[in-house]
Structure 1
Amino acid sequence: ARVVRKPQIRKGQVLLDLCETDPSLRRTTITKRHGDLYKAARDTEWGDAWPPEAP
């Protein structure tokens, strides 16, 4: 999936609008409970792949 809109950073959560391989859009919420994914979501920009690739 790709991020199709600037991530919306809220207190304790990040909202991501994603375009998936089948023609659909979906919004996903990443909260602090997601740990490392939450940290990655805060640094995500428009056009980035989601979920991020492991280094």
Structure 2
Amino acid sequence: SRVVRRPQIRKGQVLLDLCETEERLSRTTVTKRHGELYKAARDADWGDVWPPADE
């Protein structure tokens, strides 16, 4: 998946609009409970791969 819009940062959550591999759009919500994934979602930008690859 790729981020197709700048992430919408809300209190305690981040909304990501994604383009899926099946040629469809979806919206994913990442909350503070997701820990490291939440931190990555806040730093995500348009065109980034989601979920981020572990380094």
TM-score clears 0.5: yes
Identity across aligned pairs (percent)? 75
CA distance in 1, matches of 2:14, 2:52: 14
Q: So what's the TM-score if we normalise by structure 1? A: 0.98
What are the superposed Cα offsets for residues 1-52 of structure 1, whole Å, 9 maximum, x if unpaired?
A: 0000000000000000000111100000000000000000000000000000
Unaligned stretches of 5+ residues in structure 2: none
Q: Name the Cα RMSD after superposition.
A: 0.3
Structure 1 runs (4+) deviating above 3 angstroms are none
Unaligned stretches of 5+ residues in structure 1: none
What does residue 34 of structure 2 align with?
A: 34
How many residues align? The count is 55
